Amino acid sequence: MSAIGADTLPGADGGLPGVIGDYHGRVTRRLEGAGCWVEVLAAGGPRVVGFGLRGGPNVLTETPDTAWDSGFGRYELLGGHRLWFAPETPECSVPDQHGLTISAVAGGLRLVGAVEPPTGIRKAFEIRLDPEAAALSIRHELLNEGSRILELSPWPITQLRLGGVAVVKLPLPVAEHILQPNQVLALWPYSSWADDRMSIGERAITVTARPGKPFKMGFLSHSGSVGYLRDGLLFVKRFDPAVAAVHADRGTNVQIYCDEGTIELESLGPLVRLMPGESAAHEERWELRDIGMSADVAAAAAFL
């Protein structure tokens, strides 16, 4: 994804930071930080389509030709990072090619999508680059601008390239005989407990990202983190785990999906009852670390 404009900070476009770019024929805006870069669609979304170390390639999956009829029109997956809501319904994938507005915020951008007619939901991102590290924060918002009461969880989904391993850290076992369970692991109906891409160890659950039939698992993370290690580069998502709150999808707050073309790292905010005019927010922090080609799952888990 190359820059095709010269409107650098504070530049044109009403002082918007970044430079104009291109994502498979779609106009983007790209921000460069001290340690990383991020690229978002400039029309449609909100979507993040690129993220990488400064001077490095995109770590996100690019699927510009993947689309389907959602029942509300043609939904373009595109790859990268999107915001849906859980529990999943066909209304998650309402086409979002038009109606985006972009404004500047301290350290980044605010992206606000169009109201989605089936639900009355409007989606928004606030993206801020860390001024010192290879990291950023994304505040995801679901705004109820319809007339219905909605019960949902904010559900950000990040698609990454195959060839690595996803890691969820497990809590340490305790010596006391505790009477109530504290760990939840869920599988989706199309998944198998015998799928050898998933491995459960004492300190981590891993999902190896190799092509195969669809597989999805969910977990209640106490650390509020999930990582992906590929070629020595560790991508980490961090969030408030809100362990005591009620979550959708059988009480999970981390989900991992893998199929023939991509692996998805997903976090969920608590389940909320959203009245008309109300909004729900869920923030993630993304980090990139080069931990070396010899790094293994234990080394990756140490950063979670």
**Tens digits of per-residue pLDDT, 230-259?**
999 999 999 999 999 999 999 999 999 999
What is each CA distance from 293 to 15, 26, 194, 234, 299, in whole angstroms?
Answer: 40, 34, 29, 10, 11
**284 half-sphere exposure, CB direction, 13 A CA radius:** 27
* Mean pLDDT in residue range 131-152: 97
What was the pLDDT predicted at 175?
A: 86
Strand, coil or helix: what is 297?
helix
Query: Whole-angstrom Cα distance, residue 138 to residue 125?
Result: 6
What was the pLDDT predicted at 13?
A: 57
* Mean pLDDT in residue range 159-168: 98
pLDDT value at 118 more than 60? yes
Query: Whole-angstrom Cα distance, residue 213 to residue 34?
Result: 39
Query: Whole-angstrom Cα distance, residue 10 to residue 7?
Result: 8
What was the pLDDT predicted at 15?
A: 78
What is the pLDDT of the chain when averaged over all its residues? 93
Q: How far is CA 99 from the centre of its chain?
A: 21
The 8-class DSSP code of residue 3 comes to: B
* E-state strands within 9-95: 19-23, 26-32, 36-41, 48-53, 62-69, 74-79, 81-86
Instruction: Look at 92 and 182; give whichever has higher pLDDT.
Output: 92
**Tens digits of per-residue pLDDT, 169-215?**
998 888 899 998 889 999 999 999 999 999 999 899 999 999 999 99
pLDDT value at 6 more than 80? no
* Mean pLDDT in residue range 64-86: 95
Lowest pLDDT segment from 12-21, 238-247, 265-274: 12-21
**Tens digits of per-residue pLDDT, 17-66?**
999 999 999 999 999 999 999 999 999 999 999 999 999 999 999 999 99
Query: Whole-angstrom Cα distance, residue 228 to residue 247?
Result: 23
Query: Whole-angstrom Cα distance, residue 89 to residue 113?
Result: 19
* Mean pLDDT in residue range 256-281: 98
